[in-house]
Every structure is written in C-alpha cells, then in structure tokens.
C-alpha cells in the first residue's frame, strides 16, 4: 500500500544545475526499481554541521536545538495567553443581570399578539350574495368569518352566514378572492362547511385543540370581521362552559356552548375562538344582547371545536 507523501519546509543549501532550470522536463526524477532506495537528502541543520563531527555530537546539537525551539514556543504561548486571558466562568448572577437588561430594553409581543399571528394565515372573510328585491342586482346578504381547517380549502363558518345565498365569496389572508360551495351543514350547531374553488399555494390550515382541558378563566382570542372590518382581534377569557343560547327570534337553539367575554359583533360569526397558543377551540356563533342594537355587551358564545370537526367528518380528538 503506498504511503502518503510527506512535505517539509526544509530547503537544501545546494542550488540546482542550470540545465534543470533551462529544461524542466529533465529535472523530473528517474523512476527506480522498487528495491532501489534513493539516498536521503540532508536537512539544513545537518548540512551545516562539519563533516568531521561524529554522529553523537550531531545528535546532541539536534537535541539542544529542539529544546531551544520548545522553550521559544512556550514563551510565545505564555505571551499570547497573557494578552488573551480565558473568560471567567459565567455565574447565575450574570445570567439574571443579562435577562433583566433584556427585559428592560426589549418589549416582547403579548401572548394575544402571538396567538393572532399564528391563526391569521387561516382566517378568511366570507360574504353571502343574493338578488335584490327586483331581482336585477346582486347584493350582500351576510358578512362573516371562516377558518381554514384543511389546507386544500375546506373552511368552517356559521350556517346563518351563508344560508339562502346565491353565491359565496371568500377572501383569503393573502388577498386572493374566490367563490365557494357549501359541502356540508350541521344546523343544530349552526355550522357550515365550505369548499373554496381556488386556494393560495401556501395556504395554512389552523390547528384544532380539544376543549377537554378548557376551563373558565382561560385566556382566549376571537378573530374575525366585525361589521366587515378586519381581520380584527379581541382578547378575553372563557366565562363558562356548557351554556345554552336561544336566538331572539326563537329560530335557533344551541347547547353545549363556550361562553366568553372577548368582544364579538355581527361579522365575527364563523370566526375562530383560539387559545393563546393559537389553537382553535371553538367557532364563534352568537352574542347575547337583549336590545335591538345587536352590539356586544360582554357575553359571546362559540360552538366547541369537537362539534365543528364532526360537521366535516373529521375524527374526534
């Protein structure tokens, strides 16, 4: 097995013959039989020694030079270490001071802001269109919100937003506008499943989370298009679980609802109720208001996501 070539910075004091410079091709060594070993070339130190010096003296001089070089290397290392002392061990006090300094000079985003940022790519604006009374013009029948739960364009919203419409318009987070069809409905929970006819290339589906561990007092965020403005976000807490709601007209009776106090208004219907982790636990469906103003007074309701998932035929958590 051939050994790898070893290179040295040593140079001999002898100069090459002029012929080697004039004709480089003649400078190449002649191949030797495998048994013929070329004589070793003396190093600078060896060539400087008088030929009369016995081998023992030459070895002693080599050892002396080696000691001198070692001492020089140690001195150089000592000087470098003096100029570049190693860093001292970091203590807990150093860590606490650095964290305190960071908190004093940096304002991190709130938990609600992080939740909104997480859910925003999955929020859509839903508009139901119908014909005017004279049948000649297309008018808006309802404006609401939807949330993408499958990235191929499957959207959850409220049934009352799209029921009885002739055409459903969808606007995605990136501004893409398209139409959609109703592919499923769950009237007992006021839910509708939509299939968008066109979807963005980078469409993101929301993360769904079971309400099993949801408790009153947990922080939640409602995201949607109140009065068509948005997407807008409002933060609050879960006020209660297992609530019931009857619409003012008595046409809708819903049960097992999540009660929350994050601000919601007409247009929030169909939008997600999310945890501070940005995970959907419910679909906003109604607000309680005993006056005809139809504005928020602090009590909103959402359908648990387990019911919403069953409307799509998704497996339970």
Choice between 249 and 230, residue whose per-residue pLDDT is larger: 230
For the ranges 2-16, 85-99, 137-151, 302-316, the maximum mean pLDDT occurs at 137-151
Catalytic residue, from 118, 122, 160, 234: name it. 160
DSSP string for residues in 226-289:
GGG--SEEEEEEEEEEEEEEE-TTS--EEEEEEEE-S---TT-TT-EEEETTSEEEEEEEEE--
Residue 211 confidence (pLDDT): 93
Could you tell me if 237 and 216 are in contact, meaning their C-beta atoms sit under 8 angstroms apart?
A: yes
| CA pair distance 159, 48, nearest whole angstrom | 100
The pLDDT tens digits for 286-302 are 998 867 777 788 999 99
* This model's pTM is above 0.85: no
| Cα 261 to Cα 134, 235, 284, distances in angstroms | 41, 8, 11
Indicate whether 113 pLDDT > 90: yes
Domains, the chain, in order of start with CATH, read 116-312 (2.40.10.120)
Residue 15 confidence (pLDDT): 43
Indicate whether 21 pLDDT > 50: no
Confidence of residue 315 (pLDDT cuts 50, 70, 90): low
Catalytic residue, from 190, 232, 239, 261: name it. 190
190 is catalytic: yes
The pLDDT tens digits for 189-218 are 999 999 999 999 999 999 999 999 999 999
Average pLDDT of the chain?
77
Strands, DSSP E only, in the chain? 123-131, 138-150, 154-158, 167-171, 177-186, 191-196, 207-208, 219-224, 232-246, 253-260, 272-275, 279-287, 300-304
Lowest mean pLDDT across 27-31, 162-166, 180-184: 27-31
């Amino acid at each position: 097995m051939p050994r790898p070539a070893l290179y040295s910075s040593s140079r001999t004091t002898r100069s090459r013959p002029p012929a080697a410079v004039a004709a480089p091709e003649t400078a190449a060594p002649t191949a030797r039989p495998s048994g013929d070993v070329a004589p070793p070339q003396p190093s600078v130190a060896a060539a400087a020694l008088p030929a009369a010096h016995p081998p023992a003296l030459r070895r002693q001089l080599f050892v002396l030079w080696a000691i001198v070089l070692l001492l020089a290397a140690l001195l150089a290392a000592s000087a470098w270490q003096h100029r570049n002392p190693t860093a001292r061990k970091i203590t807990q006090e150093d860590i606490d001071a650095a964290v305190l300094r960071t908190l004093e000079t940096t304002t991190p985003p709130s938990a609600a802001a992080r939740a909104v940022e997480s859910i925003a790519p999955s929020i859509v604006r839903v508009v139901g269109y119908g014909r005017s009374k004279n049948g000649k013009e297309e008018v808006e029948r309802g404006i609401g919100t939807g949330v993408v739960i499958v990235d191929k364009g499957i959207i959850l919203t409220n049934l009352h937003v799209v029921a009885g419409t002739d055409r459903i318009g969808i606007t995605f987070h990136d501004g893409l506008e398209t139409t959609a069809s109703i592919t499923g409905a769950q009237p007992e929970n006021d839910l509708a499943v939509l299939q968008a006819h066109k979807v963005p290339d980078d469409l993101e589906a929301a993360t769904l989370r079971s309400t099993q561990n949801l408790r009153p007092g947990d922080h939640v965020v409602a995201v949607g298009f109140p009065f068509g403005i948005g997407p807008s976000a409002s933060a609050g807490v879960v006020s209660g679980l297992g609530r019931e709601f009857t619409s003012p007209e008595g046409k809708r009776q819903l049960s097992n609802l999540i009660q929350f106090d994050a601000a919601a208004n007409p247009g929030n219907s169909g939008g997600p109720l999310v945890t501070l982790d940005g995970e959907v636990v419910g679909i906003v469906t109604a607000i309680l208001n005993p006056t005809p103003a139809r504005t928020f007074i602090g009590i909103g309701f959402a359908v648990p996501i387990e019911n919403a998932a069953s409307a799509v035929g998704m497996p339970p958590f």
